[in-house]
Amino acid sequence: MTVSDVEKRVVLLREKIEHHNHCYYVLDAPEISDAEYDELFRELVALEDEHPHLDDPNSPSKRVGGEPAEGFTPYEHALRMYSLDNAMNLDEWFAFTDRVSRGLNREDAEYWTDPKMDGLAVEVIYEKGMFVRAATRGDGLVGEDVTHNMRTVMNLPLKLRGSNIPNLLEVRGEVVMSNSDFAALNERQRNAGDKVFANPRNASAGSIRQLDPKVAAARPLRFMGYGIGRVEWAMPMFAWSSQKEIMDGLKELGFSIPPEAKLCKTRQEVADYFEELMVRRESLSFEIDGVVAKLNNLDQQKALGFTSRAPRWALALKFPAHQTKTKLKDIRIQVGRTGVLTPVAELEPVPLAGVVVSNATLHNKGYIEERDFRIGDTVLIQRAGDVIPQVLSVDIDARPDTAEVYEFPLVCPVCKSDAREDGEAVRCTNEVCPAKTVQRIIHFVSKAGLDMEGVGKKWVERLAIDEVLVSPVDLFTLEKTALLKYEGMGDKSAAKFIAAVAKAKEEAPLWRLIAALGIRHVGEQTARTLANNFEDLEAIGKETREALQELDDIGPIVADSLWDYFQSDTTKEMLERFKAVGFWPTGGENGSEQSKDSPLAGKVFIFTGTLPIKRNEAHAIVEEHGGSAVKSISKKVDYVVAGEKAGSKVAKAEKLGLEIIDFEGFQELLQKAE
């Protein structure tokens, strides 16, 4: 690979990984398997190691996951909740233990080993033995406050047991659901005509992230502790000195810990334990996807420390993905909102990893050609975790004589327009393709867009297919009478639909509209950057590619995508219609005179520690006055607002020479802005 090729590949990998981080950690809707994600991540790390000049502090290799979802109060973890490095086979496990031995200068390390529970990572916090708060892991630094929902988890102690109770204790663990409870829950969902869940992890994560705690209370959730964050002892002589003591101590305090957990005296014992559980996994009460091994001695853990993304003293040994063979009956082409033609395998239904699989992804044209998949073939499929299964390979010996080479269509199956190859993808060239329209409008109203709560995906799809909606603008001219013509749409539902659209029209900020447009490579952060620098959509469309690249977070690929989008005649027509219906939010320094003259205008803030107001409220105040709020510390930050129990960000800010103020100082700035 040339230097240019390497740079392009690194950019592509970062974009892919960030996308899948968002799907997995924010939306709880992963699109690829763990094995595929690990492959992307490892390739990126290897390229960055080989080419240090490409180092980027914002690379996904430097972080754990994604941003907290909207609807919950952000919570900043006092100690980072790190992810784990993975071993995909025992050779990699032994290589890891060799590194540990060299780091400790000894070869007699013991390892505490747990089954790797497949659930939602959560931190629960106790003060003087009483449960006070719970938060999801989020990106490892900032998660979501889910205190009310966690309080409903039946096996979570609200008051710690025993006499040796710390003054402060942060317990990390997984929210899970047993296989039997999951089956019973899905049966109840079916009987009630409600959505069934794909697997226990989806059910657990979805339950904890419900805004209504009553939903979580009705679900058979369990919390399994696997470690701790901060601990402050009333009597230090009782402090834990090993991982085994931590786990035994958690049990004594009233916590459940992962079943089958044990202390392994040697690295070979860990390997044997891994192989034993791999054989027994289907018979266990809970879904697991591997084994986690941690150095047992806490002093040894401290001596080895952490990399930028994971502890050096722990490793996740991952099980191979679930696999089976079945017949490839047909290949169906789906069209997404950006026009990508995605091939989907229609399979002879087969049970796999607890579900019946009848469809699986074939990724793209090149994937089919490289593996020579043909209709009628016997194929190997796999399902790792809770993602869409994929077709891996073909059994050539079982290929029927009638099987013919598959010709990937270069015509859109929906609008019959030409499709052209664009890198790995094949795209429909018709800007007004009905399939694109449906998916774009669905995205427009979704949480990633204008977040029109009350405007359901299925209704948008029906209206778009019937051409009642042919553009996002049509939402703002839609009348209640048009909705009531549909069977199943009652008066209340129609009123809720219209009210949600009206609310978005009245309240949606510019950045949300930009994100809702579904421009390629433009996510929430880029949308915020654009909204902070431009008065409106028209102003963005007038900029050159070069000018766009001068903005933070916008490189040549994003700049090209923005320029192409705003030069399109279809886009220009849509913007004129937005103006005509009165939906034209503004932003940037020219958004209001108050913002322009405010001492907060153009300034970058970061909030840390416990504040008198919610973190998202503080961010909103800053943005109302023309500033911007970020979650990661850097030299670009102008003010660090430190509340009580401020974490490591203050120390980093001091090293960078940033201005640190308390909340009263922040209020003084606001008073000057009035």
| Residues belonging to the active site | 116
Burial 428-462 (b: 16+ CB within 10 A, else e): bebeebbbbbbbbbbbbbbebbbbbebbbeebbeb
Rounded distance between C-alpha atoms, residue 437 and residue 469, angstroms = 8
Cβ proximity of 121 and 174 under 8 Å: yes
Best CA proximity match to 589, nearest among 623, 554, 616: 623
Give the Å distances, CA to CA, from 473 to 111, 469, 477. Answer: 59, 8, 7
Who's near 602: CB < 8 A, 6+ residues apart? 589, 626, 627
Instruction: Identify whether the C-beta of residue 218 lies closer than 8 Å to the C-beta of residue 153.
Output: no
Paired tokens of 347:
């399979």
- H/E element, 314: strand 314-318
* Secondary structure letter of residue 130 according to DSSP: E
Q: By C-alpha distance, which of 403, 399, 423, 421 is closest to 411? A: 421
Nearest CA to 16 out of 401, 38, 2, 6 is that of 38
Find, among 345, 339, 346, 519, the residue nearest to 425 by Cα: 339
Torsion of CA 81, 87, 93, 96, to 10 degrees: -50
CA dihedral 486, 492, 496, 497 (to 10 degrees): 0
Residue 79 and residue 527: Cα distance in Å, rounded?
30
- Nearest-10 Cα torsion for 553, 525, 7, 362: -160
DSSP 3: H
Assigned token pair, 180: 């039997």
Residues 6+ apart with CB under 8 A from 184: 220
Please report the sign of the dihedral spanned by the C-alpha atoms of residue 66, residue 70, residue 72, residue 78. positive
For residues 106 and 301, give the distance between their C-alpha atoms in angstroms, rounded to a whole number: 13
